[in-house]
Structure 1
Amino acid sequence: MDKASQRSLFETEPDPWTLDSASEQRVAEIAFADPPHGPFSYKVPETLRAPLVAGQRVQVPLGKGNRGVIGYCLRVELKAVGSRPLKEVLAVVDPAPLLSPAMLRLAEWISSYYLCPLGQVLHAVLPAGVRGQAGTREMTFLSVPANVLAQLNSLQLPLKQLEALKTLAAAPRPLTPPELAAAAKCTLGPISELRKKKLIKGTVQRIQNVDVVESVIAREEHLNLNKDQQSALDVIIESLSKRQHRAVLMHGVTGSGKTEVYIRAIDEVLRFGRQAIVLVPEISLTPQTKQRFASRFGSVAVLHSHLSDAERHWHWQRIAKGEVQVVIGARSAIFAPTPQLGLIVIDEEHDHSFKQGESPRYHARDVAVQRAKAENVPLVLGSATPALESWQAAARGEFQLIEMPTRVSNRPLPDVATIDLRTEFQDRRSRGAISRPLHNAIEQAIAEDGQVILLLNRRGYSTHIQCPSCGYVANCPHCSIALTHHREGERIVCHYCDHQEQAPAKCPDCRFDGIRYSGLGTERLEAEVKARFQQVPVLRMDSDTMQKPGSHEQALAKFRAGEIKILLGTQMIAKGLDFPNVTLVGVVNADTALHFPDFRAAERTFQLVTQVAGRTGRGDKGGRVLVQTFSPEHFAIQAALQHDYVLFAQKELPVRLDHGYPPHTSLVRLIVRGDEEAITEAFAEQATERFRAALEQQKIPHRILGPAPCPLARLRGKYRFHSLLSSIDGPQLRQRVGLVAAALEPHAEVQWVLDVDPLDLL
């Protein structure tokens, strides 16, 4: 992209600065991704080749050694010359801004809200492929200066040089040296001589040399909308027509046609010449979502972690140029550089994958709310099981609630029944992961030419390895967690730090050869299903089998084509997938997350069971769901059986209120980790006490739990402690905690982080 078009794209004004007096100088505020984060002030020298504007990266001297470091320019201002001279900017890295003024403002909000350094946020906003200009190379382009063109016919030159010069002058665009040599039928020698004589000039440009092959997808017509879909669409179109921001929470049961509403709303956006961003929670959903959107719209870009840096950079460039109508991706796609944003859609808005697990620990839904407000565009949040935070926001009038209570074509919701594993466990005839009722249901579904989905949200073969003779347990040496057995390669693996060992045939301590492998993971479930249904094609989808690029697409394409009859896996198969021939869904163990030490455990269980139940009954054959559980009477499972979100919310919200948990309060989690347990605990106590004193001094209503060891008390070799700080006054809580955190002195032996609105308490 040339410099002029990029400036126009991001509404960056031309460099206006002129020094009015000797007492003023141009000063740039620069932030860094790594400590010290800044921002720091640097003088912009007059000798700088390219003008510097906000949104560009620069190289500046940092520290006593003045090592050259890359930083982000936040702003350039005229300031009075101070008594202390400023260091000067060394070079401008980017020929044009990579960050628009709107994106810089959004990054500042993220930094303020999530209490993390601004440079770190900017580093996360820009993909690594964009920062590294992946898939590009520098090339020299030759052209004839205007003064040489004026005297072209009077120049006295050797024949080859004159021919090359005239060829270049007649070319419709600048040429590279090899291109000019080929066109003029000469070697590079005459061209080099012309450059030495300054009769032609060379300009170095960075050119994209990677092209992503986009598959051609047949166009499809829009589907007819039912009454509920049309009502939802009308609300969105009203906001689009008025060019006003509105956040819409679309609560629609699984199969109610939410995606078609998104598509029709985007169609309206494109009529206004604007762009749309669609966020989906799982990479496995991206191919299906892209297929559906690409069949309606001409230009769709996909952003997710399975792209190479060069591919991501290629898509980013096309989006920034306005060549892409619809951007689809996981949480980081909320930072897509759309110059003409008209609509943001978040599908399955409740999903926890929209929360970043490392700093900056932003939630894409809340960032989307802020971006939609700032750019004055509608935001659509869709889910059959909304996050309780979103549900409460709708109750407070912050979101407009739209209900879609029926499925498309009035198809009934599937029948859901529980299988009490306590009874099955006592039945000597039942062995293995699949109970007799579930086994019979699978047989019936296959006999009737249907397909089956089995959900088990645990990877591996065995999840617990213990010696019955001496009590030895195979735990990770770096984490407070048991190692998981994987049959492939006979490994035992830690799913947190990736520590691996050979699976022991005997107890390492007492050498007893009867060491017991127990617990159930998807790998073991796959082996059992294949043994029970030997003639039936089976496919496992989890993060162990879906590592190669394109593996999600290939797996789901086989299932969609009917080549696979039984699809089993973790939560990646529970959301958003639409397969009309699925007539049975089995939840192998609904209790895997129900009893976690986390106040959101019931919500997670309700959402997972409800979502996976929604994968069936989408075709003419109907469908049913069987949920195996040791807790069939739990209200989360009972509400999921009835597809009743309101019932779940009515039961869960009072519990949250009684215990002072979100969505009734705001929460900040302090996490401290270090090599020495006592030192780590002492720092956690000291920091927590500082937070408590600051909140009490300002008389901010609050509650503090901890510090205490995290549920995973040791992770990747580090001891871990945490505290939970909550208050009904979220802005004041964040402000005071942020001020105290900024004043905390760094400790050489511990690391600490603040997680605002945490979703994971492990």
Structure 2
Amino acid sequence: MYAQILLPLAVGTTFTYTVPPELAARVKPGVRVVVQFGARRYYTGIVTALSNTPPEGAGQLKAVSDVADNTPVVLPAQLKLWQWISSYYMCTQGEVMKAALPSGLKLESETTLLRNDDYVPSAEEPLTPIEADICRVLSADKGYNILAIEKALGQRALMRPIRHLMQLGAVVVRESMTHSFKPRTEAYVRLAPALFTEVALHLTLDALQRAPAQHALFVNYLDMAGVTAAVKLGNAQMLKPVTRHDLCHAPNAATALAALKKRGVLEVYAVETSRLRPSVAERAGQDAPMLDKPLSTEQQRAHDEIVAAFATKEVCLLHGVTSSGKTEVYTQLIKETLARGEQVLYLVPEIALTTQLTSRLERVFGTQMGVYHSKFPDAERVEMWQRQLTPEAFPLVVGVRSSLFLPFRRLGLVIVDEEHETSYKQQDPAPRYHARDTAIVMAHQLGAKVLLGTATPAIETYHNALSGKYGLVRMAHRYGGVELPEIVVEDVKELRRKRLMKSPFSPRLATEVRKAIEGGGQAILFQNRRGYAPVLECKACGWTPRCTRCDVSLTYHQRLGKLVCHYCGAQYSVPTQCPACGGTEMRDMGYGTEKIEDEAAKAFPDARMERMDLDTTRSRTAYERIIHRFASGDTNLLIGTQMVTKGLDFDRVQVVGVLNADQMLGQPDFRAYERAYQMMSQVAGRAGRRGSRGLVVVQTKQADNPIIDYVRRSDYEAMYRQQLAERQAFGYPPFSRIISIYLKHRNDAVVDHAARHLAALLRPHFADGMLGPDRPVVARVQMQYIRKIMLKVPLQFTPTSVRRTLLAARDVVHGFDVYKSVTIYFDVE
């Protein structure tokens, strides 16, 4: 038997291996196998196909070393989706596999492992000698890869015992430990088997008379476990499980338990508990269900129209203004889908949004709901993946774009909330897919429906809805009759000319924020740039420090006391002297969220403020803490980047300030105005969601810009018409497809020549639809010089023909020795 194996590598094909007879019964499509690739490296691959005949021209083939699963971990539908992603987004299936599978499911020779010192071996499943040797070699803080372990032990083929140790929780992947993950185990106490007789119990109790603490603890255990009744009936199965926590709540109980263990009276053993939403069952019954209530008249109408649209169309757009109650409509549709025995995937753009949304949805769906995103430790993602393959699979999964890759057997509905969000587009590394579009393809392949929801649809989505490709349902009013917020535009240029603005806050914004806080309300300040100051500058000559690896100026982070490159992450000391002129006075230019926080502390001394940006939300618990404190009223002023714009629902927000609208309007991107409108409208939608009408203050130097006027009037239709006319005039989506080609190399001249060569090959095919090659705004990142070619591909060109042309041209360029080391990749749509 011959197996086609997909490996998690950026190679354009699968590889053929022979299947030894002793493994043949277990090898089937979708299972993981361990194979040798190259001289000494081992990888976990996925079997994609089996054959009884060798491929044509096959030479000496290697054999499959081991089989990791008894049943497939990747379903045929998933392999089909991976193939489509690979083809459409022009990457390899191995890159898709690498992105799709959690690290724990794709063990390889280079995987870095650590010993988990919290693991307690159980009497039922002791470690084998080789497993004990592996644990002895490993360290709890220094990672070792599998090759190093094999070398230290003088043995080969250790993948199987290492995989078993990972299943036990004795060994973890380094990635897990960097997220402070420890396998969730709970210690239980049980009676030593030799004491399970009335005589032995009486003798033990007599022997413990001289140790009162041990005697008391032992009697307590006998009562909790129901030992007396179980012994009388001779049925050990009647013993109730007793946790160490429940038994040792009294003072000195832990010392007594240790002594009883030493005497051989009691045993302590570990039981691994599920990592998946351990608190759902506890919290499901708390509070009144926020979303489990009858729909309003408008919500019911929207629900009925969506159901009617699904009768004839696979995709429907729900265009509802902010706070119109779209989530309640989603909830009703989810209930109906689950009642039919089908699964639902609920996609959200940001981890921050899952934090608030899941606490609301779990009150309705309880343990039916699972959550999946990249901030979870790897072991938790592995367990989620494996559970979705079983009959106990979560019928409702809430997650970010990576949850698309989970296995679904009965998918009936996909909800893409805030479908316009840029977070749905993966940038680096490959696959550079768009989760919204991929979800539509996946649903089509599985026979499911897709509901796209937003207050500010993407231009392409709205165009598809108006043209009849998608269904379209509108919700034009806020829930409960609450008015949309009043939006006020403050002309910063004019205020500064009159010297009325001496801080980042206009007088009107400062007054309104102060009034809201004093009245028991809350406010949000939106500044879409983190750090303290975007630029540090020499006051004498204007020199600014720049990254030595990237062509960008460094951002000053005051809390860190460093200059940081936001492209490569490099950190630099703050210069005390200008290297250009010798000057010693450096001034910070512009405002980041850190500086806004400092200025807000001066302007609003009574505010209880918090900052939400990438620097303060490195872990999932950080998101949860910030959002929980603001939602509960512990804080009343939230300062943040675009994270605060993404569908968060707070009751008491009365004022929202957009501090620098010009930054969004000035981006060198044909979608800049569309995205600026979406971002400002979304953050404005956080105001006045309950009760009185909210206020939004937009600060800008371009008060006469039409986009600012559309935001002020909340006029999406006008923005859409204006942008669509521009797109049509210049041949941008939805009237074409955009494919960007990036070339990178450490030598500027080499990448420049390679880009010109590639452009010459493509120009006959795309003519005026090709822009470039040119230097992007940031033309060097991590010592790699960059060139970019943009293609506006006519809609009549098929994706297959375009892919064939582009890959052929890339192969021609790579055929020259001087260009072989040039990285060339494609970013579609």
State the match for 2:782 in structure 1.
716
> Would you say the 8 A contact 1:675–1:749 is kept in 2?
no
State the match for 2:268 in structure 1.
none
> Would you say the 8 A contact 2:536–2:554 is kept in 1?
yes
Q: Deviations over 1:81-108 (max 9, x none)?
A: 7564451323223332111001110111
State the match for 1:211 in structure 2.
275
What is the deviation of 1:427? 2.4
Q: How does 1:166-185 map to 2 (within 5 A)?
A: 183=193
Give 3-state SS (helix, strand or coil) of 1:550's partner: helix
> Would you say the 8 A contact 1:254–1:384 is kept in 2?
yes
What is the deviation of 1:183? 4.8
Matched, 1:304 2:393: no
What is the deviation of 1:627? 0.2
Q: 2:744 aligns with which of 665, 669, 673?
A: 673
State the match for 1:99 in structure 2.
74
> Would you say the 8 A contact 1:236–1:265 is kept in 2?
no
What is the deviation of 1:211? 3.4
> Would you say the 8 A contact 1:210–1:310 is kept in 2?
no
Q: Deviations over 1:574-602 (max 9, x none)?
A: 12111121111110111112111111110
Q: 2:404 aligns with which of 323, 328, 334?
A: 334
Q: Distance in 2 between matches of 1:343 and 1:138?
A: 43
State the match for 2:827 in structure 1.
755
Q: Distance in 2 between matches of 1:535 and 1:98?
A: 55
Superposed CA RMSD in Å reads 2.7
Structure-2 change in CA distance of 1:227 and 1:130 (3 Å): farther
State the match for 2:16 in structure 1.
41
Matched, 1:733 2:802: yes
State the match for 1:77 in structure 2.
51
* TM-score, structure 1 normalization: 0.83
Give 3-state SS (helix, strand or coil) of 2:754's partner: helix
What is the identity, as a one-letter code, of the residue corresponding to 1:749?
Answer: S
What is the deviation of 1:66? 7.0
What is the deviation of 1:406? 0.9
Q: Distance in 2 between matches of 1:637 and 1:99?
A: 48
What is the deviation of 1:658? 1.4
Q: Deviations over 1:167-203 (max 9, x none)?
A: xxxxxxxxxxx999965789xxxxxxxxxxxxxxxxx
State the match for 1:265 in structure 2.
333
> Would you say the 8 A contact 1:342–1:377 is kept in 2?
yes
State the match for 1:201 in structure 2.
none
Matched, 1:279 2:347: yes
Q: Distance in 2 between matches of 1:99 and 1:649?
A: 41
What is the identity, as a one-letter code, of the residue corresponding to 2:382?
Answer: H
State the match for 1:552 in structure 2.
623
State the match for 2:546 in structure 1.
475
Q: Distance in 2 between matches of 1:34 and 1:431?
A: 55
Give 3-state SS (helix, strand or coil) of 1:328's partner: strand
Q: How does 1:409-448 map to 2 (within 5 A)?
A: 409-448=480-519
Q: Distance in 1 between matches of 2:10 and 2:479?
A: 53
Q: Distance in 1 between matches of 2:582 and 2:101?
A: 53
State the match for 2:423 in structure 1.
353
State the match for 2:613 in structure 1.
542
What is the deviation of 1:318? 2.6
Q: Distance in 1 between matches of 2:336 and 2:349?
A: 24
Q: Deviations over 1:684-720 (max 9, x none)?
A: 1122222234x26xxxx76111110111011111111
Q: Distance in 2 between matches of 1:210 and 1:618?
A: 37
Structure-2 change in CA distance of 1:208 and 1:670 (3 Å): farther
Structure-2 change in CA distance of 1:137 and 1:403 (3 Å): farther
State the match for 2:667 in structure 1.
596
Q: Deviations over 1:506-557 (max 9, x none)?
A: 3233331222211111100000000111122111111111123311111111
Q: Distance in 2 between matches of 1:750 and 1:81?
A: 32
What is the deviation of 1:357? 1.1
Q: Distance in 1 between matches of 2:320 and 2:552?
A: 38
Matched, 1:314 2:314: no
Structure-2 change in CA distance of 1:130 and 1:138 (3 Å): farther
Structure-2 change in CA distance of 1:60 and 1:716 (3 Å): same
Q: Distance in 1 between matches of 2:597 and 2:706?
A: 30
Matched, 1:365 2:430: no
Structure-2 change in CA distance of 1:230 and 1:132 (3 Å): farther
Q: 1:532 aligns with which of 603, 611, 624?
A: 603
Matched, 1:401 2:472: yes
Q: 1:386 aligns with which of 430, 454, 457?
A: 457
> Would you say the 8 A contact 1:43–1:86 is kept in 2?
no
Q: Deviations over 1:642-696 (max 9, x none)?
A: 1111110001111111111112100111101111100011111122222234x26
Give 3-state SS (helix, strand or coil) of 1:684's partner: helix
State the match for 1:62 in structure 2.
37
State the match for 1:252 in structure 2.
320
What is the deviation of 1:356? 0.7
> Would you say the 8 A contact 1:298–1:325 is kept in 2?
no
Q: Distance in 1 between matches of 2:46 and 2:761?
A: 32
State the match for 1:227 in structure 2.
297
Q: Distance in 2 between matches of 1:661 and 1:703?
A: 10
Give 3-state SS (helix, strand or coil) of 2:663's partner: coil
Aligned residues: 669
What is the deviation of 1:250? 0.6
Structure-2 change in CA distance of 1:354 and 1:82 (3 Å): closer
> Would you say the 8 A contact 1:445–1:452 is kept in 2?
yes
Q: Distance in 2 between matches of 1:683 and 1:139?
A: 60
What is the identity, as a one-letter code, of the residue corresponding to 2:385?
Answer: W
Whose helix fraction is larger, Structure 1's or Structure 2's? 2
Give 3-state SS (helix, strand or coil) of 2:779's partner: strand
Q: Deviations over 1:443-489 (max 9, x none)?
A: 22223221101100001111111113233211111111111111113
Structure-2 change in CA distance of 1:185 and 1:405 (3 Å): same
Q: Deviations over 1:584-629 (max 9, x none)?
A: 1110111112111111110110000000000011111221111001
What is the identity, as a one-letter code, of the residue corresponding to 1:538?
Answer: M
Give 3-state SS (helix, strand or coil) of 1:109's partner: helix
What is the identity, as a one-letter code, of the residue corresponding to 1:577?
Answer: L
Q: Which moved more, 1:105-114 or 1:328-337?
A: 328-337
What is the identity, as a one-letter code, of the residue corresponding to 1:211?
Answer: R
What is the deviation of 1:560? 1.2
Q: 2:773 aligns with which of 682, 707, 728?
A: 707
Q: Distance in 1 between matches of 2:60 and 2:730?
A: 52
State the match for 1:11 in structure 2.
none
Q: How does 1:577-592 map to 2 (within 5 A)?
A: 577-592=648-663
What is the deviation of 1:245? 6.3
Q: Distance in 1 between matches of 2:514 and 2:273?
A: 53
Q: Deviations over 1:83-135 (max 9, x none)?
A: 64451323223332111001110111111111110111122111224435999
Q: Distance in 1 between matches of 2:518 and 2:55?
A: 84
What is the deviation of 1:38? 2.0
Q: Which moved more, 1:32-41 or 1:457-466?
A: 32-41
Q: Distance in 2 between matches of 1:345 and 1:389?
A: 18
> Would you say the 8 A contact 1:462–1:485 is kept in 2?
yes
Structure 2: runs of 5+ lacking an equivalent: 126-187, 197-270
What is the identity, as a one-letter code, of the residue corresponding to 1:29?
Answer: Q
Q: Distance in 1 between matches of 2:490 and 2:571?
A: 36
